[in-house]
Amino acid sequence: MCGIAGWVSFDGDLRTERATAAAMTDTMACRGPDDVGLYLRPHVALGHRRLAVIDVAHGRQPMALAADGGLAAGPDVERVTDEDLALAYSGEVYDFREHRARLGGRFDTDSDTEVVLRAHRAGRGRDPREVVAGFNGMFAYALWDARAQELLLVRDRLGVKPLYYRQTADGVLFGSEPKAVLAHPDVPRVVDAAGLRQVFGLVADPAHTPFAGLREVPPGHVVRVTRTGVQELRYWQLESTPHTDDVDATVRTVRELLDDTAARQLVADVPLCTLLSGGLDSSALTALAARQLGAAGQGPVRSFSVDFAGNDADFVPDEVRGTQDAPYVVDVARHVASDHTDVVLDDARLLDDAARAAVLRARDTPGMGEIDTSLYLLFAAVRQSSTVALSGESADEVFGGYIDFHDPAAVGAGTFPWLAGRMVRGHGLGDLLHERVAKELDLTGHVADAYAATMAEVPRLAGETGHDARMREVSYAYLTRFLPVLLDRKDRMSMAVGLEVRVPFCDHRLVQYVFNAPWHLKTFDGREKSLLRAATADLLPRSVVERVKSPYPSTQDPRYGAEIARRFGVLADDGTTPLGELVDLEAARSAGRDVQDRLLYVDAWLREYDVEVQL
């Protein structure tokens, strides 16, 4: 996993802009602590920061292919004079060995980066989307075609790996995170009404960001940049097809897909582990990893969990979190004989100013408060002994795990179910906006428009009606407007400490297959995630098989809430805070802990990033 940054200027000579290109690249140092490289040509700059995972010794970047097929990598790219293609790449192509065998011929490294580069060269003359569509993985990369004078910005199907760009008068600026683009001296830090809707809303936008003019490459897209302009081209999307398998065949296929994707994603030349919460998703993944690593003589699997000091005494079950994680984590760790570590966090660490500042710098935008901070601290602890971690993220969206999937009122509300149900109740900030700001943002209208656009995208299945048809809509909404929020959070918090987190449940083959399983199959045992439970029950302790879904944990120590309230009170008394221009701070004094926590992050963002709000 790595960080990339770059610049295309068709009217300039970027060989004179080394300092700026290097500054943009240096913002990605957290994503790539192991190496740095820069490729400068008259009209393109490609910057790369490397986290070495595959072919540690030779997979340096940027990589370039000469006209004769020779490869140059890292510092050597500066000496190539007849280059054909150049690449700055982040991520993993899990089936790179199959592509390597298919391509044949010369290879100078054992890295997936070289495979991607040579696959594009072999595919020259075809639509580049056909090349990208052949990859199985999580990736974001920039490919410069020196012959065609064309840049491709490519992002994986589900948007696991981020990639941002800003169009300029004669090209683009781009990077793995907003900070790479913001480091360019000509980029203003302007946030308009559309951007504030991103900050204060609870619906992901597949392409837009809070910063005006800064876009994300949409998941499943290639952005083509030429002298004539910029095009966003889709190469993948969810499709609706008839599902003809019965329950047994569906369960069997899910297991086969899980076995295969786990095997692919366990490939690394550095220490690897799993993230274990004691829930069905992470427990199944840990068990699969334990079995496969054991069979290969590479066990035991390492596993990590997060908990909070005093949680035994402080935990109170509610309608969303009914059980603590810790007992189930113990059951799984014993059952699969993992080398397990509990990361226990106390309030001092969660409230630490340096940790909270690191979270803000990682995100470049306001985040989710304490659950961001705890995830960052968990990943920092994991990184001390592992470079790669496997996560159960996205299983709830794929298999229908959230409580709101199963709430008839939320499902039938005519909006995004998480906004009508219990998952994010009490976390919204819109009710605290000043009247004039609320009127300008019109969050209600924004959500309605976003929901209508989402429903218009849903691939329909001919002849499907009733509840199965509605749940196809709900599943599509979660996969495209909710999951991106969680993937973005996990990417930023992990890469801030140089940890690569892989998400096997985002394998596009699994997502596509389960998306088309009708809802009555996904709930055939009368519970959430029926297919996943049945497919992995033989690997798990009975306690986990029977456990009801519980989301990512949060500290329940009342002292944390008291300190957040104190800090917010200080903020509300500060007549100079830019947050006061947007939010009724007096009304927010009586808001809940999580809302005040998020508002503290919004205030810090406005200040630290010197954001110019334009309404």
Neighbours of 592 (CB within 10 A): 14
Report how far residue 152's alpha carbon sits from residue 8's, in angstroms, rounded to the nearest whole number.
11
> Which of the residues 2, 30, 273, 506 is marked catalytic?
2
Q: Which helix (H) or strand (E) holds 141?
A: strand 137-145
DSSP string, 364-409: SS---THHHHHHHHHHHHHTTT-SEEE--TTHHHHHT-SGGGG-HH
CA distances for 70 relative to 37, 83, 98, 150, 283, angstroms:
18, 9, 21, 21, 45
List the one residue out of 273, 275, 365, 414 whose CA is nearest residue 604: 365
Please enumerate in sequence order all residues whose Cβ is within 8 A of that of 140, keeping only pairs 6 or more positions apart, or say none.
4, 90, 91, 153, 154, 155, 156, 161, 162, 163, 176, 217
Q: Which residues pair with 167 in a beta bridge?
A: 172
Whether 2 is catalytic: yes
**32 in Cβ contact with 47 (< 8 Å):** no
Residue 362 sits at φ, ψ, to 5 deg, of -65, -40
555, 370 contact by CB (below 8 A): yes
Tokens of 275: 């993230």
Q: Is the peptide bond before 206 cis (omega within 30 degrees of 0)?
A: no
Beta strands in 277-432 (DSSP E): 302-308, 339-345, 388-390
Determine contact, residues 283/340, Cβ cutoff 8 Å.
no
Q: Tell me, what DSSP letter sits at residue 458?
A: P
> Based on C-alpha coordinates, what's the Rg of the chain?
24
Cβ proximity of 63 and 72 under 8 Å: yes
Please work out, in degrees rounded to the nearest 5, the angle formed at the alpha carbon of residue 157 by the alpha carbons of 200 and 222. Answer: 95
CA 178, 40, 36, 221 torsion: positive or negative? positive
Q: Which residues pair with 87 in a beta bridge?
A: 63, 143
Contacts of residue 15, Cβ cutoff 8 Å, sequence gap at least 6: 40, 41, 42
Which residues neighbour 327 within 8 Å (Cβ) at sequence distance 6 or greater? 278, 543
Query: Rounded to 5 degrees, what angle do the CA atoms 98, 294, 389 make?
Result: 65
Residue 400 phi, psi dihedral angles, 5° rounding: 80, 55
- Whole-number Å distance between alpha carbons of 118 and 536: 38
Q: In what order do the strands lie in the sheet with 137-145?
A: 71-73, 63-66, 83-93, 137-145, 150-155, 221-226, 229-234
- Work out the number of other CB atoms within 10 angstroms of the CB of residue 172: 21
Q: Which residues contact 399 (CB under 8 A, 6 or more apart)?
A: 514, 522, 528, 529, 530, 531, 532
Burial of 231 per CB tally in 10 Å (0-12, 13-18, 19+): exposed
Q: Spell out the residues 6+ positions from residue 91 whose beta carbon is closer than 8 angstroms to its own.
A: 1, 2, 137, 138, 139, 140, 141, 156, 160, 161
Catalytic site residues? 2
